[in-house]
């Protein structure tokens, strides 16, 4: 029996009051690939991540994480999450957090190895809240992969990082793919998506606006131009959050 794709989302709907956070989102992430999900603020990326970890129950649609229900023991065991928010107790030390996360798994990566490999050693004994944004991100990345997951969700993994740290993080993400880990990442950085992604899904107002491989999407314009052409400008005064007032732009330019 073939192994299921790591993430399959089909016609997902989530509404918060009058706002449709997800409005028929449909996308797939493939095994041992890096899947980038791009979209403006409020496009539904974090809501999608929260559905994948069962923090939010969709109003309708289906969602499969490694062939299992989100939040099921099988999905939780094999999934790593790097959340966008800080995600740590204010008074825990960086190294202490990683040892805590390792304690959730029977055969984790040795936290001390990760501390060295991700350049955390110099601040491993520093309280998490005293770390810079980039240092916190490094700790969060280590925590996401410490359980040797099959699938990792990285919510804006390089936000706040300096260029050195960004490139180092990109190397780690590429090594995850090399070793067979499926990666789903969200980002606002077009260069990040263009460098890393095997497949890009541009999401706007809770649904996929366009998707494809980097070469397909950028055949006639830069990725940033494609992004701008297919997403809403939140600064536009005429913008309406309700999706039923916006035209459908579900366009597939590549594999799905």
Partner 1 sequence: MSALDLHPAPRAASPAARIRNHGLTEARLVMRNGEQLVLALVVPIAILVAGKYVGDRVGLPLSMLGPSVLALAIWSTCFTSQAIQTGFERRYGVLERLAATPLGRNGLLAGKALAYSLISALQVVILVVVAVILGWRPVGSALAWLPMLLSVILGMSSFSLFALALSGSLKAEVTLASANLIYLLGLAGGVMWPLKDYPSGVRTVVALLPTTALGESLRAWGDGVAVWWPVLSLALWTVVLGLVARKVFRWVS
List of residues contacting partner 1 (CB under 8 A): 50, 53-55, 71, 73, 76-81, 83-92, 96, 100-101, 103-107, 109, 113-114, 117-118, 143, 145, 147-150, 153, 168, 171-172, 175-176, 178-181
Query: Are 98 and 114 contacting, i.e. CB atoms less than 8 angstroms apart?
Result: yes
Which CB atom, from 85 or from 238, has the smaller least distance to partner 1? 85
Residue reference for tokens 């939780």: 76
Q: Report how far apart, in Å, the C-alpha atoms of 7 and of each of 3, 68, 160, 245 are.
A: 11, 9, 27, 29
Residues 84 and 55 sit within 8 Å (Cβ to Cβ): no
For the bound state, the minimum distance from the C-beta of residue 75 to partner 1, rounded and expressed in Å, comes to 9
User: What minimum distance in Å lies between the beta carbon of 204 and partner 1?
Assistant: 23
Closer residue to partner 1 (CB): 136 or 205: 136
- Please say which residue, 186 or 232, places its beta carbon nearer to partner 1: 186
We find the least distance from the C-beta atom of residue 211 to partner 1, in angstroms, to be 25
Q: How far is the CB of 2 from partner 1 (least distance, A)?
A: 17
Rounded least distance, CB 117 to partner 1, Å: 5
The CB-of-130 to partner 1 minimum distance in angstroms stands at 14
Name the minimum Å distance from CB 180 to partner 1.
Answer: 6
Taking the C-alpha atoms of residue 129 and residue 127, their distance in angstroms, rounded to an integer, is: 6
Which lies closer to partner 1 via its Cβ, residue 43 or residue 176? 176
| Nearer residue to partner 1 within complex by CB, 162 or 171 | 171
Backbone angles phi, psi at 169, to 5 degrees: -65, -40
CA distances from 200 to 95, 121, 153, 194, 213 (A): 34, 34, 14, 9, 6
103, with CB counted inside 10 A (0-12, 13-18, 19+), is exposed
**Token representation of residue 234:** 């939140």
The nearer residue to partner 1, 52 or 226, going by C-beta atoms, is: 52
Nearer to partner 1, 40 or 108 (CB): 108
Q: How many CB atoms lie within 10 A of CB 57?
A: 11
Residue 250 CB burial class (10 angstroms; 0-12, 13-18, ≥19): exposed
């Amino acid at each position: 029996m073939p192994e299921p794709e790591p993430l399959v989302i089909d016609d997902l709907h989530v509404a918060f009051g009058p706002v449709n956070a997800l409005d028929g989102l449909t996308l797939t992430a493939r095994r041992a690939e890096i899947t980038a999900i791009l979209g403006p603020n409020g496009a539904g990326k974090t809501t999608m991540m929260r559905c994948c970890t069962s923090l939010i129950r969709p109003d309708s649609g289906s969602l499969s994480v490694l062939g299992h229900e989100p939040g099921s023991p099988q999905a939780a065991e094999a999934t790593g999450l790097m959340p966008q928010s800080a995600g740590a107790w204010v008074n825990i030390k960086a190294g202490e957090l990683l040892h805590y996360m390792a304690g959730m798994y029977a055969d984790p990566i040795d936290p001390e190895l990760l501390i060295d490999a991700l350049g955390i050693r110099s601040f491993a004994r520093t309280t998490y809240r005293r770390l810079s944004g980039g240092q916190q991100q490094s700790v969060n990345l280590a925590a996401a992969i410490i359980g040797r997951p099959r699938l990792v969700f990285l919510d804006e993994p390089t936000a706040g990082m300096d260029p050195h740290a960004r490139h180092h993080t990109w190397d780690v993400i590429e090594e995850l793919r090399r070793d067979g880990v499926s990666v789903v990442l969200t980002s606002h950085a077009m260069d990040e998506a263009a460098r890393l992604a095997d497949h890009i899904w541009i999401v706007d107002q809770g649904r996929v606006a366009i998707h494809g491989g980097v070469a397909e999407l950028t055949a006639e314009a830069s990725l940033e131009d494609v992004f701008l052409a297919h997403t809403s400008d939140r600064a536009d005064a005429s913008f309406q959050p309700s999706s039923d007032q916006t035209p459908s732009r579900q366009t597939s330019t590549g594999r799905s």
